[in-house]
Structure formats: structure tokens, C-alpha cells
Amino acid sequence: MKDDKLPQERTRGEAQEKPAPLVGTVIEVLAGGCRVQHAEELFWCVPRGILKRERKSRQRNLVAVGDRVRFLPAGRGQGVFEAVLPRRNKLTRPDPFNPKLEHVIASNLDQMIIIVSVQEPPLDREILDRCLLAAENLNLAPVICVNKVDLAPEGGPRGRTPLRDEMRVYAEMGYRMLFTSAVTGAGLETLKEALKGKTSAMTGYSGVGKSSLLNAIEPGLGLKVREVSEKTALGKHTTASVRLLALSFGGYVLDTPGVREFGLWRLRPWEVPKLFRDFEDVAVDCRYPKCFHVDEPDCAVRRALEEGRLDRVRYKNYLRILESVTGKRQR
Ligand code: GDP
Ligand code: ZN
């Protein structure tokens, strides 16, 4: 009798056995659920119990793109969340309805690709410095990508200063630099190499060529490319949902405008000088350890500036950024 019973019990046990949970990456969050990639497969996952906890927590959205989640596959590409795994880092902004709450835009990012263009729109170093500040503040490795090099052949003159000379200051600080053209294909292999296997936030002013670059390295994405004039008419932020674009050669790109703002909203004034790498190197010699390098006596940063050891444009942008963070006018 006992021998008969045993296999029966075992069968029943097997029938009740749950499918093994999987771990995947959230690539899109929509009302009611999210799209999760596991290996080559996509799952539409709905939360279980998570929404209730969400209301109690200080965060409004508990799941964000980039999150690694554990879920139970439920057949036909569906799944049920079990847990969000701990985040390595997160990109946040204040919740539009309650600024005390933080809204997580994306998590587990590896680097920030900052795209600027040589011309059309003209290279804007203040935006570049703001993006660098955001990247430093978020602890994301920045990669500077100078696009539309075809508009300045041989890195040739832009105004009076040759482009590569002007950008040398960033390379000297140790930032990785790429020079690309979505039109000629220059530098695209290097850009691909930089994106491979990583989760990258891509940022840059509208019209610098973010969509064109992504389409050029990953034609399947089919991102919309608009004329610069058309963009101005439409306004800057036309992308509604936040997505991670999966790259066929491995890695993801965060497709959202405004990454820069997300990185700066919690910045305190005293943190600003610390995030300017070039200033930090000389600031050890300032008389005051908390020197803002504005009008303090015996300031090593201003001395280095006068002696031509620091870049003047960087300093000008620093003052402007500090001003916008403190809400006060500096010098
Ligand atoms: P996004 O707003 O950053 O996504 O910019 P788009 O990719 O939509 O490009 C804006 C405009 O710049 C379009 O007219 C593109 O054709 C053009 N463009 C993009 N990359 C390059 C480039 O490397 N060289 C030149 N000459 N034009 C480019
Ligand atoms: Zn100083």
C-alpha cells in the first residue's frame, strides 16, 4: 500500500510545483505592468502586492527601467513579479504631484554618453559641463561624444579655436572622448564598442544627432530623426515613455530626454566645486577647505586660472552652474 501511495503523492507534488523564477531586466514601464527582457525573450509582467507597498513607501514608482526583477513565468509571454533586486544606482526626479517624493526614472546604469554637436546646433560647452556635473553626481562614467564632425572636416576650425584643441581640456581631465558622424560613419565602430554590454544613459541637446547615431549603429531601432527646425517647433520633450533600447550586440540605451536635469535636482551648492575634476586637483591649495573659488582670498583655483593652468570657459560655466544651484549671482 505504502509503495502505491508514494508515486501518487509525488505526482501531486509535481503538479503543484511552481515554475522556477527568472531574473530579467525591465525595459519599459507602462500602466499596470512592465516589459521584462530575459535572455532573448520578452515578458509582460504584472506586479503582485508591489503596488500596495508602493503607496506606503516614499517612492511613487517601485519599478523602473533598468531594474533587475525576479518573476514567475506564467505562460504565453506573461509573468508575475516577485521582487525588485537591489539597485546599484538610480536616476531620479521629484514627483510632479508631490516634490517630496522621488520618482525613479531608471536604475543600474553604467555610463552616461554625452552627445554634443560641432555645429547645427553649435557646440554648447555649458550644456556639456552641466551634463558632466550630472554624471559625476550620479557616479556614472561619462563618455563625451562629439557628433557631426563632418561639419568640421579634420577637426578643423570652429570659430577661431580648432575643435580638437578646444576639447583637449576634457581629454586631459581623463574623460573618454569620441568623435563621430552619423552621416559619414566616422567613429561609429568606437561608439558601438563603448556601448557594448553596458547600460548607457544618452543625453544631449535636441538636434545633436542622438537618434541618428543610434539608428546608424542599430538600424532595427528605427528611431525618428527630425530636422532641427522642426524640433524647435515641436518643443524639446516629445518622447512620452521611458524605454531601454536593447542593442543587438549587447547592452541597453536609455531613451529619455532630460537625463541632465535628473542628475542635478538634489545638488547642494558646496557639492558643485567638488564635482569639477580639474578644480578639485588644484583646490587642495586654497586657503579655505570649503572654498567656492569665487571671491575668497588665497584661492588656488583662481590663481591657476590667472596663470593659464585652468580653462577659462570651464570656470565661466562653473560660475553659472553654481549661480543656478544657489539661486544667487556669483561675481
Ligand atoms: P536628436 O534630437 O539628438 O535625436 O537628433 P536627430 O538624430 O534627430 O538629428 C537632428 C538633425 O541632425 C537631423 O537633421 C539629422 O539628419 C542631422 N544629423 C545627425 N547626425 C549628423 C551628423 O553626424 N552630421 C550631420 N551633418 N548631420 C547630422
Ligand atoms: Zn578656491
DSSP assignments along 195-213, one per residue: HTTSEEEEE--TTSSHHHH
- Considering every ligand atom, which ligand is closest to the CA of 209? 1
Domain boundary among the residues 54, 87, 120 is at 87
| Res 231: pLDDT | 46
Question: Which 8-state DSSP code applies to residue 224?
Answer: -
Query: Do 278 and 212 lie in a common domain?
Result: no
| Res 66: pLDDT | 96
Q: Is 155 left (phi over 0), alpha (psi -120 to 50) or beta?
A: left
How many Cα atoms within 13 Å fall on the side-chain side of residue 298?
Answer: 7
Bridge partners of residue 100, in order along the sequence: none
Distance CA 116, CA 145 (A): 6
Give per-residue burial for 216-234: e unless 16+ CB within 10 Å, then b: bbbeebeeebeeeeebeee
CA separation, residue 132 to residues 57, 61, 137, 184 (Å): 31, 27, 8, 27
Query: Do 313 and 180 lie in a common domain?
Result: no
In a domain, 60, yes or no: yes
| Res 263: pLDDT | 75
In a domain, 306, yes or no: yes
Domain boundary among the residues 228, 255, 282 is at 255
Distance CA 118, CA 155 (A): 9
Query: Do 120 and 170 lie in a common domain?
Result: yes
Report the CATH number that the domain containing residue 206 is assigned in CATH.
3.40.50.300
Query: Do 144 and 178 lie in a common domain?
Result: yes
Extract the residue ranges of the chain whose pLDDT is less than 50: 1-13, 155-157, 159-160, 229-239, 331
CA separation, residue 19 to residues 16, 33, 74, 75, 148 (Å): 9, 20, 8, 10, 50
Q: What angle do CA 156, 158, 160 make, to 5 degrees?
A: 100
In a domain, 4, yes or no: no
Distance CA 309, CA 329 (A): 25
| Res 55: pLDDT | 53
Q: How far is the CA of 24 from the centre of ligand 2 (A)?
A: 47
Pinpoint the alpha helices (H) of 71-209.
125-138, 163-172, 188-195
In a domain, 308, yes or no: yes
Q: Which three cell numbers stand for residue 43?
A: 515578458
Q: How far is the CA of 133 from the centre of ligand 2 (A)?
A: 18
Query: Do 127 and 250 lie in a common domain?
Result: yes
Q: Kindly list the protein residues whose Cβ atom lies closer than 6 A to any atom of ligand 1.
A: 147-148, 150-151, 181-183, 204, 206-212, 225-228, 231
Report the CATH number that the domain containing residue 315 is assigned in CATH.
1.10.40.50
43 φ, ψ (degrees, to nearest 5): -125, 145
Query: Do 137 and 273 lie in a common domain?
Result: no
- Non-local (6+) Cβ contacts of 31 within 8 A are none
Report the CATH number that the domain containing residue 48 is assigned in CATH.
2.40.50.140
In a domain, 15, yes or no: no
Query: Do 286 and 317 lie in a common domain?
Result: yes
Report long-range pairs for 129-132 (Cβ below 8 Å, ≥24 apart).
129/314, 129/317, 129/318, 129/321, 130/260, 130/264, 130/317, 130/321, 131/203, 131/204, 131/259, 131/260, 132/170, 132/175
Distance CA 212, CA 216 (A): 6
Report the predicted TM-score, pTM, of the whole model to 2 decimal places. 0.84
In a domain, 150, yes or no: yes
Query: Do 223 and 178 lie in a common domain?
Result: yes
Query: Do 127 and 203 lie in a common domain?
Result: yes
CA separation, residue 258 to residues 83, 123, 252, 290 (Å): 28, 18, 18, 30
In a domain, 65, yes or no: yes
Domain boundary among the residues 229, 255, 281 is at 255
Task: Tally the domains of the chain.
Answer: 3
For 46, the domain range is 22-87
- CA dihedral sign, ordered 59, 32, 244, 130: negative
| Res 2: pLDDT | 44
Which residue is closest in CA terms to ligand 1's atom 8?
Answer: 225
Pocket test for ligand 1, best of 218, 223, 225 (most atoms within 8 A of CB): 225
Q: Is 43 left (phi over 0), alpha (psi -120 to 50) or beta?
A: beta
Query: Do 80 and 113 lie in a common domain?
Result: no
Q: How far is the CA of 212 from the centre of ligand 1 (A)?
A: 5
Query: Do 128 and 67 lie in a common domain?
Result: no
Q: How far is the CA of 153 from the centre of ligand 1 (A)?
A: 16
Q: Are 95 and 76 in contact (CB under 8 A)?
A: no
Query: Do 282 and 240 lie in a common domain?
Result: no
In a domain, 29, yes or no: yes
**Rg, the chain, Cα only:** 24
